[in-house]
């Protein structure tokens, strides 16, 4: 806006020079306003854009009015400007009066327009000063993270693959490295591109060449990278695998690993502890799911831990039953049981043998014997 102020504040723009000179100066002012308008960001300072646009339109209208006026603009000499006024009562030329009135009206319109420009320029300057005060201070150049610092955390390389999990994991690792070393947004693409090798490096160079001015933001890079190595149809396949995932013949640990691998692409379906825990519990084996559900757990870690404990106890019980069955089949349990039976039978034979068995007597004889023993 300084250049606009310099043009319209000139004392010569309202002079009595040729009309073409006035038009030329107005066009110069229009050019400055238009250049300023083109340099303004589209998404910021909308009120200033509208103001400058209005000024430029007004100036164009004034130039058009001056060009349509066919009356020649005869320059006045210095002597004429300093000449005294005509004596009262002296007859004047009608043509000179009309021309003077027309020039006076034109000068008045231009003066009003320039006054409007001055006011609007002052308003724009105040708005820009306020915006600069509201904007956060830019970090000094000394805080820029060097590539050596970023490389010290050893980010992984990516050589291009059809495995969407590997592509997604590489992006996550790069963002972790950026956060750890405080890399700025304007450095991320350049630093990440260094770790693209083989086919992925060729893709990155081609993508940069197709972008305007060869500049790619990090958000734009991530979208392009996922479109290449994790397209939409692959995302759909991963979602189907996640919803169809069941424990089946896997252990709880193996099932949990697969669940974690697929859940990273699900977003809203596992965006809370309760949703994640419920979905994991639904995929457990029926007998295990029913026993875990009885505890009414609400966090993912609790569900996984309880399922592992119950599965471990069940495996231990099965192992003990198996050991007993093998010992019985091998004869160890049968021999011990058979020996115990033989000992019982031998004792019974000794007690019930011919010399040891006494028959109980009934009737009077038994009573006599009792009486004799008492006597």
What is the b/e burial string over 173-183, where b = at least 16 CB atoms within 10 angstroms of the residue's CB?
Answer: bbbebbeebeb
The domain spans of the chain are 2-75+104-131, 147-230, 242-330
Residue 137 has pLDDT above 70, yes or no: no
pLDDT score, position 56? 74
Q: Name, of 11-25, 46-60, 152-166, the range with top average pLDDT.
A: 152-166
3-state helix, strand, coil in the chain (%, to 5): 70, 0, 30
pTM: 0.45
Residue 97 has pLDDT above 60, yes or no: no
Residue 190 has pLDDT above 80, yes or no: yes
What is the b/e burial string over 220-233, where b = at least 16 CB atoms within 10 angstroms of the residue's CB?
Answer: ebbebbbeebbeee
Question: What average pLDDT score do residues 56-61 get?
Answer: 77
Rounded (10°) CA dihedral 155, 159, 165, 171: 40
Residue 99 has pLDDT above 60, yes or no: no
| pLDDT confidence band for 375 (50 / 70 / 90) | very low
What phi, psi does 157 have (nearest 5°)? -90, 160
Residue 164 has pLDDT above 90, yes or no: no
Chain mean pLDDT for the chain: 75
d(CA 200, CA 64): 58
Higher pLDDT: 78 or 327? It is 327
Higher pLDDT: 12 or 289? It is 289
pLDDT score, position 255? 96
Of the listed ranges 39-48, 145-154, 179-188, 202-211, the least confidently predicted one is: 39-48
pLDDT score, position 331? 64
Residue 368 has pLDDT above 60, yes or no: no
pLDDT score, position 100? 56
Question: What average pLDDT score do residues 18-41 get?
Answer: 72
110 close to 62: Cβ distance less than 8 angstroms:
yes
Of the listed ranges 84-98, 179-193, 273-287, the least confidently predicted one is: 84-98
Question: What average pLDDT score do residues 317-343 get?
Answer: 68
pLDDT score, position 61? 78
pLDDT score, position 180? 94
Return the SS3 of 196: strand
Question: What average pLDDT score do residues 72-83 get?
Answer: 47
Q: What DSSP designation does 213 have?
A: G
With pLDDT > 90 as the criterion, what percentage of the chain qualifies? 34
pLDDT score, position 55? 75
Higher pLDDT: 326 or 105? It is 326
């Amino acid at each position: 806006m300084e250049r606009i102020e310099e043009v319209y504040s000139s004392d010569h723009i309202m002079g009595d020079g040729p009309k073409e000179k006035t038009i030329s100066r107005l066009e110069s002012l229009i050019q400055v306003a238009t250049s300023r308008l083109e340099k303004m960001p589209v998404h910021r300072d909308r009120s200033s854009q509208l103001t400058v646009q209005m000024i430029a339109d007004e100036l164009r209208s004034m130039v058009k009015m001056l060009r349509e006026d066919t009356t020649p603009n005869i320059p006045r000499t210095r002597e004429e400007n300093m000449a005294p006024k005509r004596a009262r009562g002296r007859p004047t030329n009608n043509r000179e009066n009309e021309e003077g009135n027309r020039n006076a009206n034109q000068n008045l319109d231009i003066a009003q327009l320039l006054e409007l420009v001055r006011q609007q320029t002052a308003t724009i300057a105040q708005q820009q000063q306020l915006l600069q005060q509201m904007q956060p201070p830019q970090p000094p150049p000394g805080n820029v993270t060097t590539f050596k610092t970023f490389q010290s955390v050893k980010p992984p390389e990516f050589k291009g693959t059809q495995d969407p999990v590997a592509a997604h994991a590489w992006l996550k690792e790069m963002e972790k490295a950026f956060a750890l070393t405080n890399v700025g947004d304007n450095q991320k693409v350049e630093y990440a591109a260094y770790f693209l090798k083989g086919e992925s490096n060729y893709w990155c160079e081609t993508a940069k060449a197709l972008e305007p001015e060869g500049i790619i933001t990090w958000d734009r890079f991530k979208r392009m990278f996922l479109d290449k190595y994790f397209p939409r149809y692959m995302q759909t396949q991963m979602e189907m695998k996640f919803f169809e995932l069941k424990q089946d013949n896997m252990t709880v640990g193996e099932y949990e690993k697969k669940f974690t691998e697929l859940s990273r692409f699900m977003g809203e379906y596992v965006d809370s502890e309760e949703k994640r825990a419920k979905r994991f519990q639904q995929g457990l084996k029926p007998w295990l799911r029913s026993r875990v559900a009885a505890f009414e757990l609400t966090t993912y870690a609790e569900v996984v831990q309880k399922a592992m404990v119950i599965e471990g106890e069940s495996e231990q019980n099965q192992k003990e039953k198996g050991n007993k069955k093998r010992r019985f089949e091998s004869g160890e349990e049968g021999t011990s049981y058979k020996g115990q039976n033989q000992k019982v039978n031998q004792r019974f034979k000794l007690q019930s043998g011919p010399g040891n068995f006494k028959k109980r007597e009934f009737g009077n004889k038994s009573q006599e014997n009792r009486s004799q023993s008492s006597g």
